[in-house]
Amino acid sequence: MRVGELGEFVLIERLAAILAGRPAYPAEGRIRLGIGDDAAVLEVGRDRDWVATTDTLIEGVHFRREWTSPEDLGWKALAVNVSDLGAMGAAPTAALVCIALPTGTESEWIECFYRGMADCAAVYGCPIAGGDTVRSPSAIAISVTAVGAIGRGAAVTRSGAGNGDLICVTGTLGDSAAGLALLAGGHSPEDRPEYVPLFRAHLRPAPPVGAARALARGGVSAMMDLSDGLASDLARLSEASGAGGRVFQDRLPISLLARGAAEELNLPPEEWAVRGGEDYEYLFTVAPDRFAPLPALLAQHGVTATIVGEICDANLVLVDSGGEPTVLPPPAFSHFD
Site for a second copy in 223-252 (CB under 8 A): none
CA 139/CA 216 separation, integer angstroms: 38
Which residues, numbered 287-306, are part of the site for a second copy (CB under 8 A)?
A: 301-304
Which residues, numbered 38-57, are part of the site for a second copy (CB under 8 A)?
A: 39-40, 42, 44-48, 50, 52-56
Among 70, 74, 89, 92, binds a second copy (CB under 8 A): 92
The answer to whether 108 contacts a second copy (rule: CB under 8 A) is no
SS3 of residue 20 by DSSP: helix
CA 167/CA 152 separation, integer angstroms: 26
Among 94, 112, 287, 307, binds a second copy (CB under 8 A): 94
Shortest distance (Å) from residue 302 CB to a second copy: 3
Taking contact as CB under 8 A, which single stretch among the options 161-169, 203-211, 237-245, 325-333 is the one that binds a second copy? 203-211
Taking contact as CB under 8 A, which single stretch among the options 171-179, 239-247, 309-317, 323-331 is the one that binds a second copy? 171-179
Q: Name every residue whose Cβ is closer than 8 Å to that of residue 147 and which is 6 or more positions away in sequence.
A: 50, 51, 52, 85, 92, 93, 94, 95, 96
CA 128/CA 72 separation, integer angstroms: 16
Shortest distance (Å) from residue 4 CB to a second copy: 3
Q: Helix axis angle, 70-87 relative to 196-203, nearest 10°?
A: 70
CA atoms in the 13 A half-sphere facing the CB of 196: 3
Closest to a second copy by CB, 77 vs 316, is 77
Q: Are 241 and 222 in contact (CB under 8 A)?
A: yes
Q: Are 261 and 181 in contact (CB under 8 A)?
A: yes
The DSSP bridge partners found for residue 172 are: none
Closest to a second copy by CB, 33 vs 234, is 33
Which residues, numbered 149-168, are part of the site for a second copy (CB under 8 A)?
A: 149-150
Shortest distance (Å) from residue 144 CB to a second copy: 9
The answer to whether 323 contacts a second copy (rule: CB under 8 A) is no
